Structure 1
Amino acid sequence: MDMHNLLTFMAVATLLVMSPGPNGVLIAKTVPLFGKKAGFSNVWGFVAAFYVHGTLSIFGISLLLVQSAEAFLVFKLCGAAYLIWIGIKSLVGAFKAKRLDVATPAQTEKSSVSQRSAFIEGFFTNVLNPKVSMFYLAAFPQFLSVNDSPLTAYALVTAHSMVNLIWFSLMVLMLSRVKNMANNVRFKKWLSSVTGVIFIGFGSKLALMKAS
């Protein structure tokens, strides 16, 4: 694979990463409420999920999701259910939002747990999105030759991951400026409500999506 193919793939991947989707909505919800560390945990969860999608695509397992209607149905319904669950959880959080004026040691520990939860949430939000695997299945044949090794394919996955890491890290840094607004109970309720509805919308759209 030459440099031209790599740069072309990165350009296509950049457009995919920058397009509106569940990852961006999750970052927009996490950072104002839980801070930069939780946001970066989301991002690293996204990155880890790319390698899962890449591995499945490289070894042909993702092809089963496209060729088997039953496998695709199960996978997309799992992803849809997870997105809808995040949305419902956000809506429930909107009704339970309370102002925290003074941080306590117990709250500090909870923040640490939230970072681990943020990584898992980011990972599953991305790994259960069949559109990523479908993108790899469509892109790999165009940018890889028969003689290329799996390591070359992983180079594309790494390039995609780095684009994702840079874009969403910038988003985390920008959104961290409004973290203090989250101390306002009205803002917290509004943000949780909006992101909850959006996630439910993404989940519903995914549930209705058909394999191409």
Structure 2
Amino acid sequence: MESHFYFLLVSLIIIITLGLDIVLITKNTIVHTQKGGRQTVLGVVGGWTYFIHATFSFVGITAIIANSLFLFEIIKILGGAYLFYLGIKTTRVNGWYCLLKVYMFIT
């Protein structure tokens, strides 16, 4: 029972910690006006990524991935490729000016 409490405590801390979500919200608000920012906020507040990760941890899929170096490397490469694709897509659609505006807003 005590381990469930600590699991919920750590999950809550992860959920309320600020991070790259704020950068994503800022970018979408600048690029897609307030409507895009609101939609992004709803997606972040929904916390589906945290829920999915917590569910995978509870079921044990995270432990399987952590113990399989090959599977971990495949997921890591696919994740990097997807982030690269999103970066290229963002610069092609909105131009480099969009990224400069986000950078200037953050710093």
Work out whether the TM-score is over 0.5: yes
- Asked whether the 8 Å contact 2:56–2:62 carries over to 1, the reply is yes
- Asked whether the 8 Å contact 1:94–1:193 carries over to 2, the reply is no
Q: Percent identity?
A: 26
Residues 48 and 8 (structure 1), Cα distance of their counterparts in 2 relative to 1, 3 Å cut: closer
The one-letter code sitting in structure 2 at the alignment partner of 1:37 is: K
CA RMSD of aligned residues (A): 3.1
1:94-136 deviations in Å (ceiling 9; x for gaps)? 43xxxxxxxxxxxxxxxxxxxxxxxxxxxxxxxxxxxxxxxxx
Give the whole-Å Cα distance in 2 for the aligned partners of 1:41 and 1:90: 18
- Return the match for 2:27 from 6, 26, 29: 29
- Asked whether the 8 Å contact 2:25–2:37 carries over to 1, the reply is yes
- Asked whether the 8 Å contact 1:91–1:192 carries over to 2, the reply is yes
Match of 1:40 in 2: 38
Local SS of the residue matching 1:18: coil
Give the whole-Å Cα distance in 2 for the aligned partners of 1:195 and 1:89: 16
- Asked whether the 8 Å contact 1:91–1:193 carries over to 2, the reply is no
The one-letter code sitting in structure 1 at the alignment partner of 2:14 is: A
Count the aligned residue pairs.
98
Match of 2:77 in 1: 77
The one-letter code sitting in structure 1 at the alignment partner of 2:86 is: I
Give the structure, 1 or 2, with the largest relative contact order (CA under 8 Å, sep 6 or more). Answer: 1
Give the whole-Å Cα distance in 2 for the aligned partners of 1:51 and 1:43: 16
Q: Which consecutive residues of structure 1, in runs of 5 or more, have no partner in the other structure?
A: 96-188, 197-212
Give the whole-Å Cα distance in 2 for the aligned partners of 1:69 and 1:55: 21
Match of 1:13 in 2: 14
Shift of 1:57: 1.0
Shift of 1:64: 1.4
- Asked whether the 8 Å contact 1:94–1:190 carries over to 2, the reply is yes
Shift of 1:56: 0.9
- Asked whether the 8 Å contact 2:91–2:98 carries over to 1, the reply is no
What does residue range 72-151 of structure 1 map to in structure 2 within 5 Å?
72-95=72-95
User: Which has more radius of gyration?
Assistant: 1
Residues 71 and 7 (structure 1), Cα distance of their counterparts in 2 relative to 1, 3 Å cut: closer
Give the whole-Å Cα distance in 2 for the aligned partners of 1:6 and 1:53: 12
Match of 1:56 in 2: 56
1:178-206 deviations in Å (ceiling 9; x for gaps)? xxxxxxxxxxx53335669xxxxxxxxxx
